[in-house]
Structure 1
Amino acid sequence: MGFFENTLFPPSSEDKFALLARLWNLCDDFRSHEAEYDGAAYLAYYGQQCSHAGHDEEHILVSTHHDICELATQILQGASREDIICRLSLKYPDLGGEMDLDRTVRLNNSVDLAARLVSMVNVGVPCCTAGRGGEPLIWAQGPLNEFLRAHFNQPSQDKTHVKLDFSFKGRNLERLGRIRVDWTSKLEDHLLLTDDSERRVAIFHHASFLKCQQSSACSTLPSEIVEETLRTIALLFPQSEKRTVKWFRKKCTRYPHLDSHLIKCGGLRPNDRQIEKFRFWRDRLIILKEAFDEKTKPSTFSQLWYDRRNRLQWSTFWVAILVLILTVFFGIVQSIEGALQVYKTYHPTAG
């Protein structure tokens, strides 16, 4: 990896493979894992983060992809923030005075950038984080994995019971629930429902990244969070559901940076769809399901046609509609026949 004159230019093809291997902590080159993971989606995120953090030279000190990888390796190996800052500061001279204060800020921003890249969590001060969403997380001390475990390790205490039936899936959120699916690269925003001008739910789409973390021996993310996030993806985007696959492929056409492996996370058996099976994302699932149920009372013929959650009710309604249509049709036919007979009675020579 070469030096790029104080800015992180888009990496070359070879650099991309090396970046993915280092940042995802793969034991060998990424090329041997291309069938397992979609690296393009993550590289788009990498480019966005580097571009935003490095658009102003006063934000960060690191200037090469190699610098980023060095910081990432230290984070993945469990080094504390204090140790990482100390090592990085040795690479840059202490200028003293106000310049020294500026150097400290840029040192911290550089470490935060690397932290975001290895965790896909919005770590750092607001001016240096890319994209919209909630407030970034401030990692102040200790190893990143301990900080993230403390942040995420707050299981729900909500005992509300909701039924996660098979109609509760991504395509139905939009089609029936009128809840727009927004794709996010911030893990902490996953399943977050917002209600401003329109209802939207954020879905963390980087399934390849999660699968890699699942098999990594030194992931910065708690294994329970990784596993449960993948299960929520399988819940909302079942791999065996052809209509969901077709719907998602259309989304990929519209949003080319989506992780194509999101639709390759399997599905959940009925027993695994119980809300009690979810701990960390349970509150957001409950809120999302309640919003979905609230908005899915059919009000148009299109919604009545697609809403097949209650098959008996659906078939009874449409049989009744069919009978009504046929009754009206045959009534019109009989009226026309009657009118023709009356006409012929008074005009026997006509026609």
Structure 2
Amino acid sequence: MARNSFELLDADALDLVCSLWQPSLSKLLELFNGDQENKLSHEGYCDYYRRQWYLLAPYAGQQQTSARSPQTIARIIQDIQNEKPREDIIDSLRSTNVPEGACERSINLAVRLLVMMRFGVTKYQVSPRRCLQWQQGSLRDFVHGLFNEPPKLSCEQVRLPKTFDGWSIANVAGIEVAFTDNLADHLLLVDDDTRLLVFHHASFLEYHRSPTSIFPDGLVDETLRTLALLFPQAHLRATHRDTEHTVIDPRLALCGTPQGEDRQIERFHFWRDRLVILKQAYDDATPKTLGQWWHDRRNGVQWYTFWVAILVLMITTFLSVVQAVEGALQVYKAYESPR
């Protein structure tokens, strides 16, 4: 791994991040779209690491505790990967005289770094959105239980049209596409269905395309397929606004382009309900600006009818203005002519 990607991290932090990003022997030789592993980008995850570290690294009063060290966090992550129950991890930290609050923050930090989901509410956090709480058992069991709930909404053989992508969602339906670092918030509509959250860390997902991943089988590939659906590699266009001041993973633009069968909603399991809700919001949205009317090609007859009406209105208005100007000139000439 190129160490210059982590030039802002100290040596201990660098070792921790590199250990989290080491490819295992079970990894596929090719990435999701057929590229080689050296095409991955690490800057987005490093930025995420720094922000989570300064947000959750535990202190006891004004004294820094040993639980803040990257070595301690690395040991916690190793215990989590070995499916050690949370209760045992807590007991191990307590045995080293780590304060109770520091234990909680250390575990939440380790989990956030490992799975990129928002575990635990941080101090001064305003309006926390779906902060997960892992209370007992192994993290693998918790994550599998979180994502393995069966879909509740019927897809009724719905096919997502080719116009259904991030650009159209933003410029036709008027739904802002915003990136998030929280995998659990992927494809979530918020703010009265006016903003769509998209997990943009495609490089992170590529590193977890492994049978030994802590995520359920198929979740990572399906998430990459949703990114290819929203940001097709063949015609990627700018669609988003960065609202969390994060470094966007450039791998997002390289997740491939979905084929026709990849647009069948029934082919999705983990994200099906959110795709159904998003498709419904997309279908129900009506253009509110001329720009949205221009880009909205979902109904060709309606689009042509609207713009023909606009054209007729413009011609009629123009002719009316011309006639009014001519009439004014005639009156002016008649008034100014010698009697």
> 3-state DSSP class of the match of 2:68?
coil
Task: Work out the CA distance in 1 between the residues paired with 2:148 and 2:318.
Answer: 63
Structure 2 residue aligned with 1:49: 52
Q: Per-residue displacement from partner, 1:96-152 (whole Å, max 9, x unpaired)?
A: xxxxxx72442243122211110112223x236978643322222332112210121
Structure 1 residue 61: Cα displacement:
4.5
1:307 counterpart (289, 293, 296): 296
Structure 2 residue aligned with 1:71: 76
User: What is the aligned length?
Assistant: 318
Structure 1 residue 292: Cα displacement:
1.9
Structure 2 residue aligned with 1:119: 115
Q: Per-residue displacement from partner, 1:249-272 (whole Å, max 9, x unpaired)?
A: xx5799551111111111211221
Confirm or deny: 8 A CA contact 2:287 2:296 kept in the other structure: yes
Q: Per-residue displacement from partner, 1:191-231 (whole Å, max 9, x unpaired)?
A: 111235x72221111111111111x3432211322122111
Q: In 2 relative to 1, CA 64–46 (structure 1 residues): closer, same or farther, beyond 3 Å?
A: same
Give the 5 Å matches for 1:289-304: 289-295=279-285, 297-304=286-293
Structure 1 residue 184: Cα displacement:
1.1
Task: Work out the CA distance in 2 between the residues paired with 1:129 and 1:313.
Answer: 49
Structure 2 residue aligned with 1:204: 199
Confirm or deny: 8 A CA contact 1:38 1:261 kept in the other structure: yes
Q: Give the letter for the 2:70 counterpart.
A: H
Higher helix share: 1
Task: Work out the CA distance in 2 between the residues paired with 1:336 and 1:49.
Answer: 67
Give the 5 Å matches for 1:129-144: 133-144=128-139
301-310 or 228-237, which deviates more: 301-310
Structure 1 residue 36: Cα displacement:
2.6
Structure 2 residue aligned with 1:275: 265
Q: In 2 relative to 1, CA 218–78 (structure 1 residues): closer, same or farther, beyond 3 Å?
A: farther
Confirm or deny: 8 A CA contact 2:159 2:264 kept in the other structure: yes
Structure 2 unmatched ranges of 5 or more: 1-7, 26-35, 334-339
146-155 or 217-226, which deviates more: 217-226
Structure 2 residue aligned with 1:11: 9
**Percent of counterpart pairs with the same letter?**
39
Q: In 2 relative to 1, CA 317–179 (structure 1 residues): closer, same or farther, beyond 3 Å?
A: closer
Structure 1 residue 276: Cα displacement:
1.1
61-70 or 46-55, which deviates more: 61-70
2:41 counterpart (38, 41, 58): 38
Task: Work out the CA distance in 2 between the residues paired with 1:122 and 1:253.
Answer: 17
Give the 5 Å matches for 1:1-351: 11-12=9-10, 18-27=15-24, 35-54=38-57, 56-57=59-60, 61-90=66-95, 92-93=96-97, 103-124=99-120, 126-127=121-122, 133-161=128-156, 162-196=158-192, 199-214=194-209, 216-242=210-236, 244=237, 246-247=238-239, 251=241, 257-295=247-285, 297-315=286-304, 317-319=306-308, 321-322=310-311, 325=314
Task: Work out the CA distance in 2 between the residues paired with 1:63 and 1:256.
Answer: 23
Structure 1 residue 314: Cα displacement:
2.8
Structure 2 residue aligned with 1:3: none
> 3-state DSSP class of the match of 2:208?
helix
Confirm or deny: 8 A CA contact 1:205 1:258 kept in the other structure: yes
TM-score scaled by length of structure 2: 0.77
Q: CA RMSD in A?
A: 3.7
Structure 1 residue 299: Cα displacement:
4.0
> 3-state DSSP class of the match of 1:127?
coil
Confirm or deny: 8 A CA contact 1:61 1:107 kept in the other structure: no
Task: Work out the CA distance in 2 between the residues paired with 1:131 and 1:117.
Answer: 21
161-170 or 146-155, which deviates more: 161-170
Q: In 2 relative to 1, CA 340–285 (structure 1 residues): closer, same or farther, beyond 3 Å?
A: same
